[in-house]
Amino acid sequence: MSYSFFGTCFNDYQHLFKCVNSILNQTVIPKEIILVNSGDLNIKEAIIKMISNKKIKLIYIEKKLSRVKSLNIALDKSTAKYSFRFDSRSRFSEDYSENALKILNDKLCDVAVVGGVPSILSESENIESKLCTEIMQRTYIYFFPKHRNPNYEGYCSSVYLGCFSTSLLKEIRFNEKEALISEDSLIINKFLEKGYKAYLSPNIKLGYVCRSSFLNILKLFNSYGYCRGNTILQSKKLFISKRHFYVCFFSILIFFFLVRISFFYIFFIPLLLIILNLFCEIIYKKEQFNILIPIYGTLCQFSWIIGFLWSLKSILKRSKNNTNFIS
C-alpha cells in the first residue's frame, strides 16, 4: 500500500520542518514526500538531511505559485497509489497513515477520501496565542459542522487536508480558476458530485498549530468566508450540506423579522450573535468557560461574513489576487 505525502509551504519553514518530522515518524513510511516551495529560501538540502536515514524519495519543486496551482503540480508528481496532503502547520500522529490506509482499503466503507478532525495546538504559551487556540476549538462558532467534531465518525462533506486515491484526485484536481478556492469542502464536493464518498474517523489523529495573533485569526476567518463564496460560485450549489441550509434559513428569517419591526433593529444582530455564542459557551464549555471567547468569536464570525460578501462582490472584478497564503 504505497502512499505519498504532498503539500506546499510559504516561508513558514520552522513549522514545515516540524510537520516533516511527524511524517518521518509514521509507523508506515511514505514512498515519497512531494513539496512545492513558494517561499524565499531554498530548503532542499535541509529536508534531504532530515530524511537521509529513511527510504523516502524527496521530490522538491521551487516555484512562486498560488497554493492551488502548487498542490496540482505536487499531485502530478505522485507515483503512489494514495496521496496524503500535508500543510506546514499540520502535525500527524504516528499511526495517522496506518489508520487512513486501513479505511481506504476497507471495502465495506467504500470511500475515496478519508481524514480526521484535527486537534488545535497552541503556537506559544502567551495569553493571546491560547485565546486564539480556544477560539478555533469552539465548534459552535462554526455552527457545529461534523468536520470539526473530534468524536464524529462517518461520511461527511468536508475533510481537513485529506487522504486520497491518487488516480481519482488526479482526475478531479484542485480548481485553479479562482483565487482562494482550495478550501477542503470544495475538493470534497467535487468527489461527492462524481459519486465518491468521504469519511471521517476519530482514529485518524492529527493536529493543527493555530496562529498566535488574533489579527491573523481574523484574516483566517475572512479567508474562510471568501472561500465559501468561491465554493458556491464554482460548485453552483448554494448549500453543500444541510447545516449550510439551516444557518442560511434562520439568518434570513431573523434578518427579515428585525427589519419588519424596524430597519434599525438589524444593528441588534451582533448582540444576538454574542448572546447565542455566550449561551453555547455556558452549555458546552462549563468547565472551561471563558467570557472572552463568545465576544472574540463574534468578531471572527463577522470577519467571515465580510470575506463571504467580498467574494461575491469580486464577480464584478476583472482581476483577482491569485494567492491564498495567509501571513
Let me know if residue 62 belongs to a domain.
yes
* Mean pLDDT score, 305-326: 61
Q: pLDDT (tens digit, 9 = 90+) per residue, 141-170?
A: 888 888 888 889 999 888 999 999 999 999
* Mean pLDDT score, 86-114: 91
Looking at the structure, tell me whether residues 95 and 145 fall in a common domain: yes
Say if residues 314 and 232 touch (Cβ distance below 8 Å).
no
The CATH number for 12's domain is 3.90.550.10
> 139 Cβ partners below 8 Å, 6+ apart?
145, 148, 149, 284
Q: Which of 235, 260, 275 corresponds to the end of one domain?
A: 235
Q: Which domain holds residue 256?
A: 242-316
Looking at the structure, tell me whether residues 66 and 188 fall in a common domain: yes
Say if residues 78 and 167 touch (Cβ distance below 8 Å).
no
Number of domains making up the chain: 2
pLDDT attached to residue 266: 65
Looking at the structure, tell me whether residues 248 and 119 fall in a common domain: no
Let me know if residue 296 belongs to a domain.
yes
> Does the pLDDT of residue 264 top 80, yes or no?
no
Q: Give residue 169's identity as a one-letter amino acid code.
A: L
The span from the CA of 109 to the CA of 256, in Å, is 43
Say if residues 24 and 103 touch (Cβ distance below 8 Å).
no
* Mean pLDDT score, 175-198: 75
Looking at the structure, tell me whether residues 22 and 120 fall in a common domain: yes
Q: How confident is the model at residue 46 (pLDDT cuts 50, 70, 90)?
A: very high
The span from the CA of 101 to the CA of 85, in Å, is 13
Looking at the structure, tell me whether residues 246 and 210 fall in a common domain: no
Q: Which of 235, 270, 291 corresponds to the end of one domain?
A: 235
Q: pLDDT (tens digit, 9 = 90+) per residue, 132-141?
A: 999 998 988 8
Q: Which of 207, 235, 263 corresponds to the end of one domain?
A: 235
Nearest to 209, CA basis, from 92, 120, 115: 120
Buried b or exposed e, range 58-82, using 16+ CB within 10 angstroms:
bbbbeeebbbbbbbbbbbebbebbb
- Higher-scoring residue by pLDDT: 316, 302: 302
pLDDT attached to residue 177: 67
Let me know if residue 135 belongs to a domain.
yes
- Higher-scoring residue by pLDDT: 311, 117: 117
Let me know if residue 323 belongs to a domain.
no
